[in-house]
Structure 1
Amino acid sequence: MTRSLDEANREITRVRQMPYGLARTQAAERQVRLVDAEGPDAARAYALGTLVEAYQWGGEVDRSFVAFARLLRWWDEHPEHFDAQDRHGLFWSFKWMISGLADFPTVPAEQIDRTLADMERRYALAGNGMDAVAYERFAWARQRGAADVEAAYQAWVATPRDDYSQCEACDPGDRAAWLLATDRVEEGVRIIEQTLAEDPSCASEPADMLSYLAEAYLDQGRPRDAARTHRRAVAALAEAESDMVGARGRRVRLLARGGQAERAVRAIEADQQYLTGGDTPYSQLAFARLVGSATHVLRSTGSGDLPVRLSSVPATTVAELDDWLRSRADELAAQFDARNGTTAETESVARAWATEPAADTLDLDVLPRGLAAGGGAAAGGGAAAGGVGAGASSAGVHGSAAAGATGDGGAGTGAGTADAAAGTGGDARRAAPADPAALVAEAERLAGAGDLESAAGAYLDAAVAFEGAGLLTESGFGYAEAAHCAQVLGDDDGAASGYAAAVARLLAADVPATVVAPVVVAWAGAAAVTGQAEAVLAEADGLLLRLGTAAGPDDDRAPELVAREQAEHRRAAADLDDAAARLLATLGGPERSAAAAARAQAAAEAYAGLGALADAAHAFWLAGRLHDDLGHVEDAVWHLESAMEGFQAARQRGPHGEVANALVDVLRRSGQDARADDLARTLTP
């Protein structure tokens, strides 16, 4: 039965609402096939444009070229079938084609030049502005190292903005990037600072410009500003929609140049898929060059023997990774230089491997390490005064539990109490109040204002004061809140230290296991990064034993009280099993992965029994990924299907689509194309 135009458009729109990935791509391909087979012709431009976008942002840039060629041919033959949205999408996609073609060294330079000329011709015929054309001309000149690149840049910035210009976040970010690359640092920093004040946001910003700004601050001798901006960049990067290899690589380079060797290695391990992946060969080269500059710095400063845990690269130390990256970067650079007819990429690689450490060391510690041993605020070496920028917030592990245990507490003393925890002292702060409840109130005020660094110090002061007064429960909550602030700010070492201190004091106070469990779960997130997995697993298993002693048949309390307590115990146990599964998964190895999958399934089933459908779906999703890694195809499929059902029942469309992407990938890799096609048919009616 032939669909009406409205029906076809509704189904294509549903595809566009899916997260990028294989499921969305497959669904878009299906819509094109349906339109080709049965029409209506008026929906073909919308279907093809959706397919181009799915390929472009779904990691298959090379496949977008053919789809775009079909879309362009359809425009030439039947412009009457393009509405205003279709027309805008066609001309917008032209920009992706230029940059995409340039990112593959097998595409001849002459073809890119012809495509750019065709773009300019078509824009002129359509009466479009020329800002997008000028930008693409500059970007292509910069990538190939043309002699006229500065002239192309000046021509671009002099061209008026129009409907096809880059967004108002990307445009200044790209201008600043060129200025920073050509030693016009003050001007580049000024542009980024002005843009950030307007709170821009898109698929890649503000993460990209923040990563540039953090390193510029470090080079200007402003390490505190660099640290604060780095934290904002990491938070923004977590929300970005594309692979963001530039921002990720600059993050690694900043850490290495700023004397944070361990954090740099962790960042490499976290993003290791881009060492051998990346959407295009040029993104692979860019990432290899940026990370290579970091490994070079680490190696030259005595950290070449640091171990790295990598699954797809034959390297076990920083030095070995450095050698591998240099070889890979040289090979890719040579391919691009051969296509471009210049030596620009080879020279850029050589400059990367001549990178030097910064003059200043970054201080990214929010809390001191070793708090569990009772060092407290006097341990020193932690939080620096000052905010973390707009958008930061703190919803602590237990909210205002410490304040609630002692009353309202009274007024705070103003900002800067974090310096007491840091041991910096001096005239930068007023004396901390002796009343721990007042410290908690001050910490909550600081956290509410977005100043998590100072809030962490105030919570830490409160924890020490509570402990001095013999109030271990309140002290434990204070440590937990301080740890949460540190965790939000990316100080996993400090967070792990704070959580360990919190758990030690809460257990010493003999608080219920259901109260300690959320702190252990939060600790697990930091432990996965800092190598404390075994300690947290031991605490989780100990709490699970305590939770197993639920009310027995002789309990004479009211049945509803007993039922509520049992539900609380089951929820806490599910949370602990879920956290343990995620920790075990980080340890690697078939035995650990199998144990992680089993615990994830146990957590999922417990969540489902409690009606926590979204939590159950997340746990099933984890189990499915683990079974896929183990080569257990049918187990992976079953768990991923269960996750999809859970997210659908919970009405969470985004995660549902992401699991669908993973399931399509499993089915395709295992040769089950028919099942993958069946899945695509269920994603859009």
Structure 2
Amino acid sequence: MTRSLDEANRELSRIRDMPYGLARTQAAERQVRLVEAEGPDAARAYALCVLVESMVWGGEVERSYLPFTQLVRWYDERPELVDEADRYAMFWSFKWMVGHLGDFPTVPAAQIDATLDDMERRYALAGLGRDAVAYARFAWASRRGSADVEEAYRAWVATPRDDYSQCEVCDPGDRASHLFRTGRLAEGVRLVEETLATGATCATEPADMLSHLALAQLDLGQRDAAVRTHRRAVAALADATGAMAGARARRLVLLGRAGAVTRTVRAIEQDERLLVEGETPRERLDALLGVVAATAALLPEHAGQAVRLTRAPATTLAELHAWAVGEAEPLAAAFDLRNGTTAMTTELAEARATRPLDEPLDLDVVAVPGAGPTTTAGAGASARAVPDAVPTDAAPGDATSGESLLDRAERLVGEGRTEEAAQAYVAASAEAEAAGLLVDAGYAAAEAARCAQLLGDDDTATGLYAHAVARLRAGAADPVEVVPVLVAWAPAAAATGQLPAYLEAADAVRPVLETDGDDPPSGPEGAALAQRRADERQHALADLDDAAARALATLGGDDRTDEAAERAVRAAQAYAAVGAAGDAAHASWLAGRLHDARGRAEDAVTHLTAAVEGFGHARDRRTRAQAADDLVALLRRTGQDARAEDVLSALTR
């Protein structure tokens, strides 16, 4: 039976609520097929708009050009069936086509020029503003390295903004990027700082502009400012949307020039996927250029530094540099051939010529005194020295106002001054320990660790987490309350190679959680209290298994993957036993991905199906769709297309 327009629009709107990914794109494709086969025709423009949007932001820009042309043709043929919202989306999507198709060297320049000319013609006929067209012309000229890029830039910045302009944060970010690229560092710095002062954010900002700013400050000799900006950039990257290949590449360049060998290698390992399968060829080239520059700055002194990669054929820094250059050269040449310039080849040459700073940068968030690590039996070893006294540069509390060190730290966190907050928390921890308040000292150290973690300093974070857990256990803190600190520690421990110490500390807490605890009062209230305590311990045990599984999964290797899968399954079962449906679904999702990685398709389907169903019970539609990405991909890969279609259909009901 043919759907009504309301029914079709309702299903399409549900797809738009889904996160970008395979499930959303395939669900959108399914809707286009249904509308084309069964109608209603009034829903066709909306269906094509949803599909174009899904493909563009789901990493399939090249494929999006076909439904985009179908949308434009439909608008030309049946304008009465295209409402104002779809008309707006169609004109907006011209910007995506021009902006993103340039990221593929196989797309001819003539095609992009023609699309841009058609965009300008259509905008003029529709009486729309010219800012989007002016920006598109500048962005295309900048991508190509054209001789007229400065002229295009000046034309763009002189054009008034309108309803089709890019967001008000991206706009100054792109202007600053051009200023930095053309050597106008001080002007670019002023523009970025003015924009940051507004506090405005978007999907990619301020992470992108902060990564530019840090390098500009470094080139201007503003070392301390560059370090602070770098930390802000790393923190902002965690909240950004998309691959952010350019910003991540600039982070690598700063780390390499700073002489931070271990941090550089770790960052490359974490972003390895971008080196082999960037969402677009240009994003992959950006990532490769970052690695080339970062490794060039560390050679030849650190040529033998080990790297742990699973997809790039390199085991040392020197091998990685050579491989990245070899991969970047043909890509750069392909872009230059299409663009008719030598811009990318020149950029590669500049990356290969990158040199380190005369003096390395100190990137540690907290200045740690030279004390040895402090441990408690079963707490594991610290990854580095941890403070046992108030650092001399730690800001004291305000005696006049009565503000304590802890109050100061929490105020600084609220004000977004994370680095200063870390110092204050360390000082508060030392103050509490001096007073014999070990539990308070442990919690303050954990807060300092979290601040360091947010700023990308996993080395300091893992040492402080180890210090915090030792204090908490020595002070006989409730083991249920220790678990959140252990959970927060896990990713930092995995990133810094301290996972064995972490697992030792985490597993040392298990026996205490597995005991029955104190005898509760008698009667119904006592029974209820006993059940609540038992559920809390069960949930805490599940948290430990889940955190350990995720940490183990990041390291790879068959044995670690198998142990991670075992712990994830155990966590899912424990979460389900206490009614934590959402947590159980997350653990099942992890278990499914791990079984898939080991080639156990049947087990993977079982756990991924449980995850999708679990997120449905938890009414978490967005995460349900993300888990469905993995399930649909697996079902397609194993020839179970009918089941995949059933999953996609269920997502829009």
Shorter chain as denominator, the TM-score bin is: over 0.9
* 2:433 aligned with 1:467: yes
1:673-684 equivalences in 2 (<5 Å): 673-684=641-652
Say if 1:431 and 1:105 are closer, same or farther in 2 by CA, change over 3 A: closer
Say if 1:421 and 1:62 are closer, same or farther in 2 by CA, change over 3 A: farther
Match of 2:335 in 1: 336
Match of 1:625 in 2: 593
Q: Number of matched residues? A: 641
| Distance in 2, Cα, partners of 1:470 & 1:103 | 60
| Distance in 2, Cα, partners of 1:382 & 1:72 | 63
Say if 1:466 and 1:28 are closer, same or farther in 2 by CA, change over 3 A: same
Match of 1:540 in 2: 506
Match of 2:378 in 1: none
* Offset at residue 553 of structure 1 (A): 9.7
Of 437, 454, 471 in structure 2, the residue corresponding to residue 488 of structure 1 is 454
Match of 1:454 in 2: 420
Match of 1:373 in 2: 373
* Offset at residue 242 of structure 1 (A): 1.9
Q: Aligned with 1:364: secondary structure? A: coil
Match of 2:42 in 1: 42
| Distance in 2, Cα, partners of 1:563 & 1:156 | 66
Of 582, 590, 595 in structure 1, the residue corresponding to residue 558 of structure 2 is 590
Match of 2:262 in 1: 262
| Distance in 1, Cα, partners of 2:544 & 2:367 | 26
Match of 2:110 in 1: 110
| Distance in 2, Cα, partners of 1:198 & 1:275 | 34
Say if 1:555 and 1:430 are closer, same or farther in 2 by CA, change over 3 A: closer
Q: Aligned with 1:373: secondary structure? A: coil
Aligned residue identity for 2:331:
L
- Structure 1 length-normalised TM: 0.88
Q: Deviations over 1:611-645 (max 9, x none)?
A: 21221111111111111111111211111111122
* Offset at residue 507 of structure 1 (A): 2.5
Match of 2:532 in 1: 564
| Distance in 1, Cα, partners of 2:195 & 2:358 | 27
Say if 1:465 and 1:203 are closer, same or farther in 2 by CA, change over 3 A: closer
Q: Aligned with 1:641: secondary structure? A: helix
Say if 1:446 and 1:382 are closer, same or farther in 2 by CA, change over 3 A: farther
| Distance in 1, Cα, partners of 2:328 & 2:455 | 32
Match of 1:445 in 2: 411
Q: Aligned with 2:299: secondary structure? A: helix
1:236-635 equivalences in 2 (<5 Å): 236-300=236-300, 302-358=301-357, 361-368=360-367, 373-374=373-374, 421-424=390-393, 438-551=404-517, 558-635=526-603
Say if 1:518 and 1:161 are closer, same or farther in 2 by CA, change over 3 A: closer
Question: Would the aligned equivalents of 1:382 and 1:423 in 2 still touch at CA under 8 Å?
Answer: no
Q: Aligned with 1:3: secondary structure? A: coil
Match of 2:189 in 1: 189
* Offset at residue 253 of structure 1 (A): 1.1
Aligned residue identity for 2:462:
A
Q: Deviations over 1:259-296 (max 9, x none)?
A: 32211211111111100111211221122112211111
Aligned residue identity for 1:462:
A
Match of 1:656 in 2: 624
Q: Deviations over 1:549-601 (max 9, x none)?
A: 22599997933333232222212211111112122223321122111111111
Match of 1:395 in 2: none
Question: Would the aligned equivalents of 1:486 and 1:495 in 2 still touch at CA under 8 Å?
Answer: yes
Question: Would the aligned equivalents of 1:382 and 1:421 in 2 still touch at CA under 8 Å?
Answer: no
Q: Which runs of 5+ in 1 are unaligned?
A: 384-417
Say if 1:42 and 1:367 are closer, same or farther in 2 by CA, change over 3 A: same
Aligned residue identity for 1:523:
W
| Distance in 2, Cα, partners of 1:524 & 1:42 | 52
Question: Would the aligned equivalents of 1:227 and 1:364 in 2 still touch at CA under 8 Å?
Answer: yes
Say if 1:552 and 1:130 are closer, same or farther in 2 by CA, change over 3 A: closer
Q: Aligned with 2:198: secondary structure? A: coil
Moved over 4 A (4+): 368-372, 429-433, 551-557
1:125-274 equivalences in 2 (<5 Å): 125-274=125-274
Say if 1:143 and 1:552 are closer, same or farther in 2 by CA, change over 3 A: closer
Question: Would the aligned equivalents of 1:367 and 1:495 in 2 still touch at CA under 8 Å?
Answer: no
| Distance in 1, Cα, partners of 2:152 & 2:519 | 81
Question: Would the aligned equivalents of 1:372 and 1:504 in 2 still touch at CA under 8 Å?
Answer: no
Question: Would the aligned equivalents of 1:367 and 1:498 in 2 still touch at CA under 8 Å?
Answer: no
Deviates more, 1:71-80 or 1:561-570: 561-570
Q: Deviations over 1:170-192 (max 9, x none)?
A: 11111110110000111111111
- Structure 2 length-normalised TM: 0.93
Say if 1:108 and 1:488 are closer, same or farther in 2 by CA, change over 3 A: closer
RMSD value, Cα: 2.6
Say if 1:608 and 1:371 are closer, same or farther in 2 by CA, change over 3 A: farther
Question: Would the aligned equivalents of 1:218 and 1:360 in 2 still touch at CA under 8 Å?
Answer: no
Q: Aligned with 2:50: secondary structure? A: helix
Aligned residue identity for 1:232:
R
Say if 1:176 and 1:195 are closer, same or farther in 2 by CA, change over 3 A: same
Deviates more, 1:545-554 or 1:228-237: 545-554
Q: Deviations over 1:200-252 (max 9, x none)?
A: 32222222111111221222222232222222222222222222111111111
| Distance in 2, Cα, partners of 1:108 & 1:444 | 55
| Distance in 1, Cα, partners of 2:463 & 2:254 | 24
Say if 1:344 and 1:554 are closer, same or farther in 2 by CA, change over 3 A: closer
Identity of paired residues, percent? 57
Say if 1:51 and 1:513 are closer, same or farther in 2 by CA, change over 3 A: same
* Offset at residue 533 of structure 1 (A): 0.4
Q: Which runs of 5+ in 2 are unaligned?
A: 376-381
